[in-house]
Amino acid sequence: MVKVLIATEKPFAAPAVAGIKEIIEKAGFELALLEKYTEKSQLLAAVADVDAIIIRSDKIDAEVLDAAKNLKIVVRAGAGYDNVDLAAATSHNVVVMNTPGQNANAVAELVLGLLVYTVRNFYNGKAGSELMGKTLGILAFGNVGRNVARIAKGFGMNVCAFDAYCPADVIEAAGVKACASQADLFKEADIISLHIPATAETKQSINYDLCSTMKKNAILINTARKEVIDEAGLLKLLAEREDLKYITDIKPDADADFAKFEGRYFSTPKKMGAQTAEANTNAGLAAANQIVGFIKEGITKFQVNK
């Protein structure tokens, strides 16, 4: 019998687990559960006889793949998959998938919630400003970026975007201005919202030189990945320009240094983008359905390794 493991150091909500269980068992598979584990050895033991694994932010590396002799597929319930060693998975003939779009609305709502909090001076009682009429620049126009644009337009914001892999006509079909370059986006917008993955190309790409071109009183908001920020460069710029603000739901490595810029920096205690009951359930159910589709029909639509 095909055995599917849910391995989540930070568990799914109970309704999500129940839904996953229903999908897996209806397919005739067996479901195993490893939640809130504290040692890697627990994960290594749990994967020994499984055919498929559903994870969240859990790390799947070569050691885990070596221990999982029967493993055929890993599905990351969420959009990002940098917690999985893709090269090692490919060398072990293991398919890796993500569940794009399932968390997109949750992340987008967080972006606008953080922006309201920021322009109202973190609700400190002092007069703030409004988002209406401001220009929001979206870097990367994937599922999250498109949802951010949709909500921002409801606030009456002007929206522009740049995505090196998305044609300008696709961006403009969504009622969003397409910028010609990343540099143009940073110069034009009052607020920059980051939605790029952490890749060799993007890591530390949000740096001093790029951010120094931002408009007076600009806000940089990052709900993407910590690694895309050049922290030293951004800290240097915040020290030089007292008008800039940095808002994120991924605590920087240099959090204590950023925290010195009181009133111009805010980080949530942990990554919050997908932390809604709806997103939690959507991503989990999508992961289960993708495993069933792959095992029974060989469907690889969301495969991220080749």
Mean pLDDT per 10-residue run, the chain (306 residues)?
A: 97 94 98 98 98 97 98 95 96 97 96 98 96 98 97 98 97 98 98 95 97 98 97 98 98 97 96 90 97 98 95
Two tokens, residue 152: 């921002």
Question: How far does CA 260 lie from the centroid of its chain?
Answer: 26
Q: Which two tokens stand for residue 198?
A: 């952490």
What number of helices (H) and strands (E) belong to the chain? 12, 12
Three-state DSSP state, 84: strand
- pLDDT, tens only, 164-177: 999 999 999 999 99
What length is written for the chain?
A: 306
Closest CA to 53 of 61, 282, 278, 257: 61
Q: Note the pLDDT of residue 79.
A: 87
Query: Does the pTM exceed 0.75?
Result: yes
Residue-level pLDDT at 255:
97
Give dist(CA 52, CA 56) in Å, integer: 14
Residue showing tokens 């009183």: 217
- Do residues 294 and 304 lie in contact, with contact meaning Cβ atoms separated by under 8 Å? no
C-alpha pair distances (Å), 187 with each of 18, 52, 192, 210: 48, 46, 10, 9
pLDDT at 33 (0 to 100): 98
For residue 75, the model assigns a pLDDT of 98
What's phi and psi for 69, nearest 5 deg?
-65, -30
Report pLDDT digits (tens) over 224-251: 999 999 999 999 999 999 999 999 999 9
125-159 exposure pattern, b = at least 16 Cβ within 10 A, e = fewer: eeeeeebeebbbbbbbbbbbbbbbbebbeebebbb
Residue 254 has a pLDDT of 97
